A and B are shown apart, each in its own frame.
Chain A
């Protein structure tokens, strides 16, 4: 048995791949968990977590992350959105009369970071829409990971392709945009025993320091 968050963290770790420097923004416990999991196997991986209250990696204030990214020194970054559309645009500003917090650094990070992974846990027609109401940022992502499925991005066609689903179910019915899919959609690989033991040991301890509520919910630790 494993938690859905653990499966998603394992997918994140695979998507990061052989990157050297991963940055994770605020309020992203699952991407942070995936990155910390990968670091267990690849200790040379540099992680810059913006939300860290102690031992924050930056000494030039909040602009340093963007200066690093502008120079190409950040290999992987994660973005989400209140809405994500079939052209991989994200909306963090407004939809259906509702106001959201705002674009943060997305408009800059999306086009300048080599590998942007779109992550949104909620997979519904509300979040995955044909066309976003406001384009906070657009770019070419490496992938879109949701709580139900993993999509790859076809840059030439500017269209998503379904790679795998986490459980059997009606993904197309829950997705507001059109996408390509193989005839047989594979299941997302399960977390290995090794990954689960790392997640529940050192990874959980590391994540609990910055995401106490998340760690309590997933691993029941304080």
Chain B
């Protein structure tokens, strides 16, 4: 097992990093370390959308490009650092739509160069995305049936948090199967986790369906409250008050910097305190 600091250190400048949405267990402890270590030119892939996790990295200047279907703080509103960075052309956005990202990762899971996807034709996304191709359905016997093909995506790194890891190196993500997809598709998968379990979860019939097998996992590190201020369903909820505080603070560059000073650059405050209501 590695330390959280080592996980962060293994994600190099310029890496394409696949990240889950805020509701799907982002490895926030590692994200804060990437900010502290001043990582540069990251290319983030939102699977299929991004939130505070990406906004922190963008605001801290760690990101060159984002491929995603959206970046938002959900009920807390727009992602302020993403919004400003795009409006000032400080980062490049490759806009997508949710199922196109899932489909492109599934192509990599299967080892095929592309996959077809219904819908999307008629959207300006098709025009903007030079790497997406519309073809005639070759299986159709008669008539026209145009269909979109999206190329396989292979992220350099998949990064997420899990509820459990075990002695065999497996991690448990439960129903958050998009995490399994990115683990299957990425060249390296780094996972932080809440708690260590003895034994091998693949030998437990009830736990096994929620497991990402060690085959796909490059390194794990224990990070209690590692998703905070985001949550893990059934363990601790998203810290809505903190997210609202962040959304407000990050509206200006100065406010964002104060937020970093308080919650990212101060070691004792950058994880949820044990006495937290979570």
Interface 9-mer from A1-9, A54-62, A120-128, A198-206: A54-62
B228: min CB distance to chain A, Å: 15
Compute how far the CA of A103 lies from the CA of B238 in the bound complex, rounded to whole angstroms: 24
Q: Which of B24, B83, B120 contacts A108 (CB 8 A)?
A: B120
Known: A61-B178, A108-B99, A213-B75. A103 touches B123 (CB 8 A): yes
- A59: which B residues are within 8 A, CB to CB? 175, 177
Q: Which residue of A lies closest to B244 (CB)?
A: A213
Closest to B238 in A: A53
In this complex, the interface size class of chain B, counting residues with CB under 8 Å from chain A, is: 35 or more
User: Does any Cβ of A come within 8 Å of B199's Cβ?
Assistant: no
Complex interface: chain B residues within 8 A of A108 (CB): 97-100, 117-120
Q: Which partner residue on chain A sits nearest B48 by CB separation?
A: A62
Establish whether residues B120 and A107, one from each chain, have CB atoms under 8 Å apart when the complex forms: yes
Cβ contact within 8 Å between A102 and B175 = no
Residue among B24, B99, B122 making CB contact with A137, cutoff 8 Å: B122
- Kindly list chain A residues whose C-beta atoms are within 8 Å of the C-beta of B49: 101-102, 104
Residue in B72, B97, B118, B178 whose CB lies within 8 Å of A106: B97
Whether a CB of chain A sits under 8 angstroms from the CB of B95 is: yes
Q: Indicate whether B121 reaches chain A with its CB closer than 8 angstroms.
A: yes
| CB of B159 to closest CB in A, whole Å | 16
A66–B98 CB distance below 8 A:
yes
Q: Is B179 interfacial (CB 8 A cutoff)?
A: yes
Taking CB atoms, residues of chain B closer than 8 Å to A156 are none
**Cross-chain contact A62 with B24 (CB below 8 angstroms):** yes
**In the bound complex, how far is the Cα of B49 from the Cα of A70, in angstroms?**
19
**Which residues from B are CB-within-8-Å of A138?**
122-123
Which residues of chain B have C-beta atoms less than 8 A from A64's C-beta?
177
The answer to whether B99 and A66 touch across the interface, beta carbons within 8 angstroms, is yes
Per-residue contact bits, chain A 99-115, to B (CB 8 Å; 1 contact, 0 not): 11111111111111000
**Pairwise interchain contact B125-A107, C-beta atoms closer than 8 A:** yes
Complex contacts, A51 vs chain B, CB 8 Å = 74
| Interface contact A101-B79, CB-CB below 8 Å | yes
Segment of B26-34, B63-71, B162-170 in the binding face: B63-71
In angstroms, Cα B180 to Cα A59, docked, is 12
B268 CB-CB contact with A under 8 Å: no
Of the residues B68, B70, B231, B237, contact of A92 by C-beta under 8 Å: B70
Contact mask for chain B residues 180-193; partner A; CB cutoff 8 A; 1 contact, 0 none: 11000000000000
A111 surroundings in chain B (CB, below 8 A): 118-122
Contact (Cβ within 8 A) A58 B75: no
The answer to the question of B21 belonging to the interface, with a C-beta cut-off of 8 Å to chain A, is: yes
Of the candidates B48, B125, B180, the one having the most CB atoms from chain A within 10 angstroms of its own CB is B125
Residues from chain B with Cβ under 8 Å of A98 in the complex: 83, 87
Q: Is A146 an interface residue, CB under 8 A from the partner? A: no
A11 nearest CB across to chain B (Å) = 23
B204 within 8 A of A: no
What's the nearest-Cβ distance from chain A to residue B275, in Å? 23
- Tell me if B78 counts as interface (CB < 8 A to partner A): yes
Shortest distance between the CB of B108 and any CB in chain A (Å) = 14
CB contacts under 8 Å to A, within B44-73, are 47-49, 68-72
A103, B181: Cβ atoms closer than 8 Å: no
| Min C-beta distance of B65 to chain A, whole Å | 14
Contact A101 B99 (CB under 8 A): no
The answer to whether B70 and A102 have CB atoms under 8 Å apart is yes
Residues of B within 8 Å of A164, CB to CB, are: none
Asked whether B176 is an interface residue with its Cβ less than 8 Å from the other chain, the reply is: yes
| Closest Cβ neighbor of A112 among chain B residues | B119
Indicate if the CB atoms of B70 and A135 lie closer than 8 Å: no
User: Is B124 close to A, CB under 8 A?
Assistant: yes
Asked if A104 and B69 make an inter-chain contact with CB atoms under 8 angstroms apart, the answer reads yes
Q: How far is the CA of A108 from the CA of B83 in the complex (A)?
A: 24
B86 interfacial contact with A, CB 8 Å: yes
6 contacting pairs across A/B (C-beta < 8 A): A60-B177, A61-B24, A64-B177, A66-B98, A99-B82, A104-B48
- 4 A-B pairs besides A62-B21, A101-B72 with CB distance below 8 A are A51-B74, A103-B123, A104-B98, A111-B121
Closest 6 CB pairs of A and B: A61-B177, A102-B70, A66-B99, A61-B178, A101-B72, A63-B102
B contact set with A: CB distance below 8 Å: 21, 23-24, 47-49, 68-72, 74-75, 78-79, 82-83, 86-87, 93, 95-100, 102, 106, 117-125, 175-181, 231, 233-234, 237-238
